[in-house]
Amino acid sequence: MRIYKIILLGMVLLCGIAVRAQADTSSVEQYCQLMAAQRLLSNKVTIDIDFGDEKSYWKDDRLTTGDGKLKKFNTIVDAMNYMGQAGWIFISVYPVHIGSAEIFHFAFKKRFPKSEVQN
């Protein structure tokens, strides 16, 4: 009888360890928006990427390179290639007309592990 209790206790402990070892592998889709506008009197474009973070006038949240320099894009295609290399998937694009200016809005999506996403 005593041996059965020891075996049962061992099985309960092993099952508890196995359950704890299983991590939350679920993922969630996140979205971002890339806005591209032609610069005045130039053939360059201004790119702004909105990841849904809170904006602040006191904090510079522009994209930077690995060495801390401001990330600049030569063209819209350059920015789209950057997004693709970062794992973002293109969804759609639509233009917004403001006076004579035209701003293109590109929508992207990407799956992230649920543990990496902040609420």
42 within domain boundaries: yes
109 within domain boundaries: yes
Kindly state the tokens that stand for 83: 């997004």
Q: Are 8 and 91 in contact (CB under 8 A)?
A: no
6 within domain boundaries: no
2 within domain boundaries: no
65 within domain boundaries: yes
**What phi, psi does 52 have (nearest 5°)?**
90, 10
- Give 84's contacts (C-beta < 8 A, 6+ positions apart): 90
Domain range holding 108? Answer: 25-116
Q: In this predicted structure, what is the pLDDT of residue 72?
A: 85
**Mean pLDDT rounded to a whole number for the chain:** 82
Residue 19 has pLDDT above 60, yes or no: no
15 within domain boundaries: no
Give residue 1's identity as a one-letter amino acid code.
M
Place of tokens 């693709």: 84
* Cβ neighbours, 10 Å, residue 31: 13
Condensed to tens digits (0 to 9), the pLDDT of residues 22-63 reads 566 799 999 999 999 988 888 888 899 998 888 777 777 778
pTM of this prediction?
0.71
4 within domain boundaries: no
The tally of domains found in the chain comes to 1
Residue 68 has pLDDT above 60, yes or no: yes
